[in-house]
A and B are shown apart, each in its own frame.
Chain A
Amino acid sequence: MSVAKILIVGASVGGVRTAQALRADGFAGRIVLVDAECELPYDKPPLSKGLLLGMTDSEKIRLLTEETASELDLELRLGVEVVGLDAEAKQVTLAGGVAETYDGLVIATGVAASWGPWGGLQGQGVHVVRTLAGAAELRTELAAGGPVVVIGSGFIGAEVAASARALDLETHLIDLVSTPMSRSFDPEVGEFFARLHADRGVITHFGVGVDEVSGARGDLTLRLTDGSALKAAVVVVGIGARPATDWLDGSGLRLEDGVVCDEHLRAVGVDDVYAVGDVCRWTDAGTGELVRAEHWTNAVDQALCVARNIMRPEEPTSYRAVEYVWTDQYDWKIQIVGRHETAVVRQILGDPNSGRFVVLYGGEGGVLTGAAVANWPKALVTTRKAMAAGRLLAEVVDKLDGGAAPEAARVGVRA
Chain B
Amino acid sequence: MAKLTADFGACQGYANCVVAADDVYDIDDDGIVVLLKEHIEESDRARVEEAARSCPVNALQVVDG
A377 touches B56 (CB 8 A): no
How far apart are the CA atoms of A324 and B49 in the complex, in Å?
A: 20
| Interchain CB contact (< 8 A) of B15 among A296, A304, A377 | A377
How far apart are the CA atoms of A201 and B50 in the complex, in Å?
A: 41
How far apart are the CA atoms of A296 and B49 in the complex, in Å?
A: 18
Does residue B36 face the partner (Cβ distance < 8 Å to A)? no
Kindly specify which of A247-255, A311-319, A379-387 makes contact with the partner chain: A379-387
How far apart are the CA atoms of A105 and B39 in the complex, in Å?
A: 37
Chain B residue numbers with a CB within 8 Å of A322 are 19
B53 touches A377 (CB 8 A): no
A377 touches B46 (CB 8 A): no
Contact of A333 with B53 at beta-carbon distance under 8 Å, contacts A377-B27, A385-B19 already known:
no
Does residue A166 face the partner (Cβ distance < 8 Å to B)? no
Does residue A245 face the partner (Cβ distance < 8 Å to B)? no
B30 to chain A, nearest CB (A): 7
Chain B, interface residues (CB within 8 Å), range: 20 to 34
Does residue B12 face the partner (Cβ distance < 8 Å to A)? yes
A interface footprint on B2-16 (CB within 8 Å = 1, 0 otherwise):
000000000011111
Kindly specify which of A17-25, A123-131, A222-230 makes contact with the partner chain: A17-25
Chain B residue numbers with a CB within 8 Å of A20 are 53
Contact of A45 with B56 at beta-carbon distance under 8 Å, contacts A304-B50, A377-B31, A381-B27 already known:
yes
B13 touches A384 (CB 8 A): no
A348 to chain B, nearest CB (A): 19
B46 touches A333 (CB 8 A): no
| B interface SS class | loop
Does residue B28 face the partner (Cβ distance < 8 Å to A)? yes
Chain A residue numbers with a CB within 8 Å of B54 are 297, 300-301
Interface residues of A in 265-320 (CB under 8 A from B): 296-297, 300-301, 304
Chain B residue numbers with a CB within 8 Å of A380 are 13, 15, 27
Does residue A12 face the partner (Cβ distance < 8 Å to B)? no
How far apart are the CA atoms of A24 and B49 in the complex, in Å?
A: 9
A interface footprint on B48-65 (CB within 8 Å = 1, 0 otherwise):
011001101000000000
Contact of A335 with B18 at beta-carbon distance under 8 Å, contacts A377-B28, A381-B27 already known:
no
How many residues of chain A are within 8 Å of chain B by beta carbon?
Answer: 25
Does residue A175 face the partner (Cβ distance < 8 Å to B)? no
Chain B residue numbers with a CB within 8 Å of A377 are 13, 15, 27-31
| Interchain CB contact (< 8 A) of B50 among A24, A324, A381 | A24
Chain A residue numbers with a CB within 8 Å of B50 are 21, 24, 304
Chain A residue numbers with a CB within 8 Å of B13 are 333, 377, 380
Contact of A381 with B53 at beta-carbon distance under 8 Å, contacts A24-B46, A333-B12, A333-B31 already known:
no
Chain B residue numbers with a CB within 8 Å of A384 are 15, 18-19
Does residue B22 face the partner (Cβ distance < 8 Å to A)? yes
A interface footprint on B22-39 (CB within 8 Å = 1, 0 otherwise):
100011111100000000
Chain A residue numbers with a CB within 8 Å of B53 are 17, 20, 300
Chain B residue numbers with a CB within 8 Å of A407 are 29
How far apart are the CA atoms of A385 and B16 in the complex, in Å?
A: 11
Does residue A263 face the partner (Cβ distance < 8 Å to B)? no
Q: Which residue of B lies closest to A25 (CB)?
A: B46
How far apart are the CA atoms of A139 and B37 in the complex, in Å?
A: 41
* Residue from the set B14, B31, B49, B54 with the largest chain A CB neighbour count within 10 Å: B14
Chain A residue numbers with a CB within 8 Å of B56 are 43, 45, 296-297, 326
A335 touches B14 (CB 8 A): yes
B interface footprint on A18-53 (CB within 8 Å = 1, 0 otherwise):
001100100000000000000000010100000000
How far apart are the CA atoms of A296 and B54 in the complex, in Å?
A: 10
Chain A residue numbers with a CB within 8 Å of B19 are 322, 324, 381, 384-385, 388
Interface residues of B, Cβ cutoff 8 Å to A: 12-16, 18-19, 22, 26-31, 46, 49-50, 53-54, 56
Top-7 shortest CB links A-B: A377-B31, A377-B13, A377-B27, A381-B15, A380-B15, A384-B19, A381-B18
